[in-house]
Structure 1
Amino acid sequence: MTRFRKVFIPFIIAAATLLLARQAAAAPLAVEHGDGGLVSASCDNSHAQVRIDAKDAPGMAWCFELVRVSGWVSLEATGSYGVTNTLSQPVRVAVKHPTGQVYWQVVVPPGGVAPVLVSGQTSVVVELASGPLGGPTGPSTSTFAEGRQVSLRNTATQKVLMSTWSGVSVGQVNRDSSFTTRVQATWLVTRARDVSGCFMLTKPEDPQISLRVEGAEVVAKVGDSQGGNGTWCVVSGETPSSIRLINQAHPTMALGVDKNGSPGLVGVQDGGSEWFVDDALAWVMA
């Protein structure tokens, strides 16, 4: 017994100390946003849950339970390498590259397991969603203010302003769309670099990209805007809770949707010039 104590007890103490140190160093899970349908829970195999396996999690996992028919939660689960779904419906998992602003989506079927590794390295799970979620169809759900991530929905067409590789467009986008599509429909409101009190619309995944006017087109590009082409001044629209975004370089023109259904500059009083300001369809990590 004495020999056992001398040999094994120090080993047990060292192992316990290491485990406690790892747990103390584990990053706390940052839950950013959500609708209350998916909630954080203690990991328990006897309950239907979504489990994120991650080296940064205390106990090596973070778990969530669905308390409604559908739900979503935005988070920052670093060190993730797999997601297990024991719910009775699929789970959509948005994943971010650990060192860059590259996103993708994985759908995990009921009872399924999906790896979220990148070339053998762990990733960051940034959103979980399950069930039909839809999107806003009425008045604005947010406000246009500095530092906010927003989505802009045209009051005339109900389509959302997007920035894609092929250019600026509008489309039918809601929370059931893929995460990458929703990132394209998310904008960051920043203060203009002059003293006008107006704003710029940049991409949260790359704030160097801003919405501006070039010639007769509205584009989203990297670089400084010239002469107020990328500066937008906000006025209230005629539709309750809507806004108009007047281009500083073209004060009689506003961001809008033309008669052909394309985004561009339209007359300030044009019916396609009003936008509802909604909560971001995808919360993008800085």
Structure 2
Amino acid sequence: MHRNRLITAALATATAAGLSAFTWAQAPAASAEIPITAGDGGIVEQTCGTTPVQIRVDSANATGGKVCFGLVKDSGWVAVNITGSYGVVNNLTVPVTVAFKLPNGAVYWSTTVNPGEVKTVDVNRSGSTVVELQVSPVTSPTGPSTGQLTPGGEQPTVVSLRNAASTTTPRVLRVSWSGVVSDVINRNSGFTDRLDASFIVTPGLSNTKCVSLESAAYPGVFLQTTDGTAPTVSVSSTPDATAATWCATAVSSPATSVRLISAADQRYALSTTTAGAVSVTTTRAADSAWFVDQGLAYPGTTTGTTTGK
């Protein structure tokens, strides 16, 4: 799949607060960085050439010009940040899906590299940043929470929010062209859909004891409530600090779920319906409880020199 991720005026119109367009530039010089940021252990980094059955990412920024990975389980996924990438060689016996983006910005593509195939991931002759390798089908969260709402340090914490009321067909909070919805998305969905359903946990904009949720797909865009007698939920690139702050409280049933209370009005908790509409509610039921999962997709960073083995 080859999908443009440019943020347009259409998305700004679709959200109550409006999303602004972003400008991209060449990535600046970077420092050394370990390429793996998350994964399920199915795909691991290996020294290139130790076995002929590997995935090889060719990168101008990698030591030796390449980074290699092996598939050690039947399937797997790994979030990486391999800057300066221009090609992927798949010497496995199964297809590999590769997600990559512009050197600096929020435009993402996804392509499948078949066994024995070589594909370019170069963008405008300036390289790209490979952000994910996946061999499907991989396991998707269906039970207790697999992540936590704790802001990260050098590596950001990326989470997805799965509604506790939709246990049969899990619905996940996501940003869409029509605003904020809950949708049936899992780890085998398309990369850009999964990225829309992933959020970076930051200290609360108005209260650092709470958190704010920045869209992983759209840098600088935060989940917030809107004013009014019947508050709703939107995303904004110019968020109100209090409206974009959420205080998590543990929920005893279902276990490991949390309720996200609006700092703007603590009567209201983030909620969804079986039809997928997202709002806030004063009701303390399963539809206002959320499982916090490890992010369904990771955006990569705008800087970083790849190190390879």
The verdict on a shared fold, with TM-score over 0.5 as the criterion, is: yes
Partner of 2:191: 179
- Confirm whether residue 230 of structure 1 aligns to residue 235 of structure 2: no
Tell me how far 1:139 sits from its aligned partner: 0.3
| Separation in 2, partners of 1:85, 1:183 | 24
Per-residue deviation, residues 77-105 of structure 1 (Å, max 9, x unmatched): 11111101111111010102102122111
- Match for residue 248 of structure 1? 263
Partner residue of 2:288? 273
The question of 1:197 aligning with 2:243 is answered no
The C-alpha deviation readout for 1:188-235, integer Å capped at 9, x for no partner, is: 122223347222111235442111122442111111316x32221211
Q: Which has the higher strand share?
A: 1
- Cα separation, 2, equivalents of 1:26 and 1:152: 32
What is the correspondence of 1:1-286 to structure 2 with a 5 Å cutoff? 29-44=34-49, 47-147=52-152, 148-157=157-166, 158-195=170-207, 197-214=209-226, 215=228, 216-225=231-240, 228-237=242-251, 238-258=253-273, 260-286=275-301
The 1:29–1:230 alpha-carbon spacing in structure 2 relative to 1, beyond 3 Å, is closer
Gapped runs of 5+ residues in structure 2? 1-29, 302-309
Corresponding pairs, count: 261
1:34-83 Cα offsets, whole Å, 9 max, x none, are 22211222323962111111122233221111111001111111111110
Instruction: Identify unmatched segments of 5+ residues in structure 1.
Output: 1-24
Identity %: 39
Q: SS where residue 266 of structure 2 aligns?
A: strand
Change (3 A) 1:268 1:234: farther
User: Cα offset for 1:276?
Assistant: 0.3
Structure 1 or 2, whichever has the larger Rg, is 1
Given residue 89 of structure 1, which amino acid in structure 2 is its aligned partner?
Answer: V
SS of the residue 2:269 aligns to: strand
Check whether the contact 1:26–1:56 (CA below 8 A) recurs between aligned residues.
no
TM-score (ref. length: structure 2): 0.78
> TM-score of the superposition, structure 1-length normalised?
0.84
Report which structure shows greater RCO (CA 8 Å, sep ≥6). Answer: 2
Q: In structure 2, do the counterparts of structure 1 residues 99 and 44 end up closer, same or farther at CA, with 3 Å as the change threshold?
A: same
**Paired amino acid for 1:75:** V
| Counterpart residue identity of residue 246, structure 2 | W
Q: Deviations over 1:254-280 (max 9, x none)?
A: 101135431111224133100000011
Distance 1:112 1:250, change over 3 A: same
C-alpha contact (below 8 Å) 2:59/2:82 kept by paired residues: yes
Equivalent-residue separation in structure 2 for 1:150 and 1:203 (angstroms)? 10
Q: Greater helix percent: which structure? A: 1
CA distance in 1, matches of 2:76, 2:187: 10
Deviates more, 1:138-147 or 1:37-46: 37-46
Query: For structure 1, which segment, 53-62 or 275-284, has the greater mean C-alpha deviation from structure 2 after superposition?
Result: 53-62
